[in-house]
Amino acid sequence: MRLDGEAIHQSEEITPLHLIEAGGRTALVCIADGALSERIAQALQKLNYHVVVAQNPSSLLGRMEFDQYPLILLDEGYGGTDSASNPVLLHLQRSPMPARRRSFLCIRSEQTPTLDHLTAFRIGANLIINLQDVEKMPVILDRLVKEYEAFYAVFNDELTKRGTSSV
């Protein structure tokens, strides 16, 4: 599928080529609702993200071991589960902290209010967007991702100076 000249990859198997093609920032969309997933993908393209849409958690988990996604949008019920047993969220929660710092995790929720920072912190996310506020998502994401990148830029620059990496 093509939107505005950019590719949105929808695949059961996400390959490393999806990331090589981008040449920039890549967003991973893990939203079960196809129409909502497409709306979110279009909004992310306007923010200059190369969008990869994951069709199911099982193929995605294998790829996440090797690939890094600067932005991950995850439905709290992705894979037919709730947030407590979401396999992708559990994988991210168990990831080493230096690896987690390379990704901004946004959870799409039906119950939790947008910008509920305490709940986001509790589940290991950077942001929660309620379904009611999906239309406002581009503005919220743009601002918060920039703040996140600026905050960790100092940390990552210091690691680079010391000759180490955070991943």
Task: Identify the band that residue 147 occupies on the pLDDT scale cut at 50, 70 and 90.
Answer: very high
Give per-residue pLDDT as tens, 17-43. 544 454 578 999 999 888 899 999 999
pLDDT at residue 133 is higher than 60: yes
First to last CA, the chain: 33
pLDDT at residue 164 is higher than 50: yes
Hey, which of 4-18, 108-122, 142-156 has the most confident mean pLDDT? 108-122
Long-range contacts of 148-155 (CB under 8 A, 24+ apart): 148/104, 149/104, 152/101, 155/101
In-domain check, residue 43: yes
In-domain check, residue 166: no
Query: Total structural domains in the chain?
Result: 1
In-domain check, residue 167: no
Full domain range(s) for residue 134: 2-161
* Residue type for position 38: E
- Give pTM, 2 decimals: 0.81
In-domain check, residue 127: yes
Question: For the domain that residue 134 is a member of, what is the CATH number?
Answer: 3.40.50.2300
